[in-house]
Amino acid sequence: MKTKLTPEDVVSIIELYQTKIPSTHKLGVKFKVGHKKISQILKENNIVINKKGGQTQDGNSHNIESTKSKKYTPLGTQELVAQCKKTNVILKDPNNLSGKLTKHIIDLYGDVWIPSNTYQRKKYEHRNGKKWFEEYFNIIEIDKQPNRSCKLCGWETTDIGNKTGCFENHISNFHNQTLTEYLTTFPNDIIYHSSYVNNVETSKLLSKDENYVICKMCGEKMKSITNTHLKNKHNITTLEYKLKYPNEKIVSTTISKKLSELVKNTNINMTPTWTSKGEMEIKEFIESLGFIVSKGKNRKLLEGKEIDLIIEGSNICIEYNGLYYHTEKMGKTSTYHLNKTIDCNQIGYKLYHIYEDEWKTNKMLVKSKLKHLLKVNDGIRIGGRNVVIKKINTEDKSHFLKNNHIQGTDKTKIAYGAYHNDVLVGVMTFNEKRNMTKNSDGEFELSRYATKQNYMVMGLASKMLKRFINDYNPKTIISFADRRWTIDGDNNLYTNLGFSLVSITKPTYYYYNSKISRYKRFHKFGFGKNNLKKRFPNLDYTKTEKELTEELGYDRIWDCGLFKYQLNIRKSNKIVI
């Protein structure tokens, strides 16, 4: 099939015809056009076309063929090598006897002219006075490399450091000795065997328990079980080994400590190069309230752990948790967020976590919570005595909570509303039964409490709680506080209302699938096996919930756990508001 020639092709055709391929037929084959087209191009550019036969007469063919090819030989004590003009790589074959120069040229330049036989090579030399590969290589002299001799017989090699193992093979094959035996006789030669020295040192190192782990598949001791070892010796990957032996270490205690220290020092000195849009928006909002927020991500406060935002002049830090980057697959384990919260708390800082979906879908509410935390709430102030408390229906409750509580609405049937001039300014809800707490009769759960955005109602929580107690006369009331927003378990709204902290629940998880929803975390209750069977009946339910959800494309995102509070009602008499 003929191809359309470019201006660059025309230039190449002219150059090749005058230097290396003086044949219109061969050039036609190379450029996939007819030889007449090649002739036309040459004539248009005033190039004299050779006589039939496609080549100029460089001398009698018999003379060229009988001429000996030039051979480069070193002078004196130096060594001749070929140095690539483009890469400066040196190859120790100045006459290309091994074909290394040809291979290097093809790898580097691709489809170039290379003489196909001895006659073509001699012809090139006859015409140009040099070998064909000197278009790409310079033939130069360098100092000869020193040799090393065997002390037993005088045999010499340039492989001084025994990188190829030739010296060790020599003393084994010709002298029937091990390297250890040879070095015992000639200890000064140990300077040539760095690998041997390393092996001896490694043997000493592996004599101590903390310096090694044992491969469960072959029993070999090593500093760490590497992917190379597993692949070459057992034909499995590191991940497959971990799945097969989940409770076994693959790195020694000593190496683990060194790596942890290295990561810690690296993280402390690392300069972040990327900041998410949501994080920048939160920073700009806090600064609009008159605060100074530290620039970039801080890695020094927690000695290597990253903190997104630190509000200067306060003890408050903010973490913006992008959903995709805070999943288990991205290394955020079940205790990742909680541990960072605790670490901050131990040095006197309060760390609040804001998840990406909260900021993207409920931005005004998050801003209201931030203003409250920073004590710059400039909303309407109302005294608790100036509101009217009454029960409200499910529709009013749900609408209010969706707009004013970070968790949204709930499924409670008991809901109280606080009204000021017929405006609903607060809601508190209760559950009579909660299966997960195994509650007894007379135990209720305070499920939600929220005030209207940009409203501050003094004493409202206490007033609404008292109204509930008067109406239902409960024995105990329990409630849960999210540790992402309630940092101090012993000093908060609950303790001010008389509740006591009775337990702390471990972090729990939500599910996330960016293909289903970019900005949503799904509650785990919807992913139990019974629920999955209804939606996906064809799955293999001998697998665990985690395996099933991973198969469906879901990953887990962990929170910080909850504080559980309890209020014991000592008096049976109703409380007067």
Cβ contacts of residue 334 below 8 Å, gap of 6+?
A: 506, 507, 509, 558
Of 335, 354, 373, the domain-final residue: 373
Q: Is the pLDDT of residue 256 over 80?
A: no
82 and 194 inside one domain: no
Q: What is the pTM of this model?
A: 0.54
Of 373, 365, 376, the closest CA to residue 451 belongs to 365
Residue-level pLDDT at 572: 40
DSSP annotation of 437 = G
Does one domain contain both 419 and 502? yes
388 and 495 belong to one structural domain: yes
Widest CA span in the chain: 128
Does 1 map to a domain?
Answer: no
Q: Is residue 577 part of a domain?
A: no
Higher pLDDT, 456 or 190: 456
Query: What is the residue range of 41's domain?
Result: 7-56
- The whole-number pLDDT of residue 239 equals 79
> pLDDT value at position 137?
94
Q: What is the pLDDT of residues 38-58, one digit of tens each?
A: 888 888 888 888 766 544 455
Q: Which residues are within 8 A (CB) of 384 and not within 5 positions of it... i.e. 6 or more apart?
A: 457, 458, 459, 460, 462, 463
In a domain, 393, yes or no: yes
Give the model's pLDDT for residue 480. Answer: 96
Helix, strand, coil % in the chain, rounded to nearest 5: 40, 20, 40
pLDDT category of residue 571 using cuts at 50, 70 and 90? low
Cα–chain center distance at 269: 18
Residues 84 and 165 in one domain: no
Domain stop point among 265, 292, 307: 265
Please indicate whether residue 127 or residue 395 has the higher confidence score (pLDDT).
395
Q: Give me the number of domains the chain comprises.
A: 7
pLDDT of res. 16: 86
> Distance (Å, rounded) from C-alpha 462 to C-alpha 496?
9
394 in a structural domain = yes
336 shares a domain with 275: yes
204 burial via Cβ count (<10 Å: 0-12, 13-18, 19+): exposed
Give strand ranges (E) for 266-345: 298-302, 305-307, 309-311, 316-321
Q: Could you tell me which residue, 314 or 462, shows the higher pLDDT?
A: 462
Whether the predicted pLDDT of 575 surpasses 50? no
Q: Which of 32, 56, 80 is the last residue of a domain?
A: 56
- What is the CATH classification number for the domain harbouring 251? 1.10.10
Pairwise CA distance, residues 31 & 363, whole Å: 64
The neighbour count for residue 560, using CB atoms within 10 Å, is 25
* CB neighbours of residue 116 within 10 Å: 8
Q: Say whether both 295 and 391 belong to one domain.
A: no
486 and 389 fall within a common domain: yes
Whether the per-residue pLDDT at 213 is higher than 60: the answer is yes
Distance CA(393)–CA(334), nearest Å, equals 38
Q: Do 536 and 468 sit in the same domain of this protein?
A: no
* Mean pLDDT, residues 64-83 taken together: 80
Statement to judge: residues 49 and 96 lie in one domain: no
Higher pLDDT, 537 or 64: 537
Q: Do both 388 and 501 map to the same domain?
A: yes
Determine, yes or no, domain membership for 183: yes
Provide mean pLDDT across the span 353-376. 93
> Are 528 and 545 spatial neighbours (Cβ–Cβ below 8 Å)?
yes
Cα 299 to Cα 319: distance, rounded to the nearest angstrom: 13
CATH of the domain at 351: 3.40.960.10
395 and 346 within one domain = no
- Whether 552 is covered by a domain: the verdict is yes
Q: Specify which residues 420 forms β-bridges with.
A: 423
Strand order of the β-sheet with 509-512 is 522-523, 509-512, 555-558
Residue 542, in any domain of the structure: yes
Quote the pLDDT of residue 192: 84
What lies within 8 Å, CB to CB, of 78 at 6+ separation is 141, 142, 143, 144
Q: Which of 34-48, 138-152, 312-326 has the highest mean pLDDT?
A: 312-326
Residue 29: pLDDT over 80:
yes
- Specify if 574 maps to a domain: no
Tokens for 545, please give them.
């919930």
Q: Do 455 and 466 belong to one domain?
A: yes
Phi, psi at 131, each rounded to 5° = -75, 155
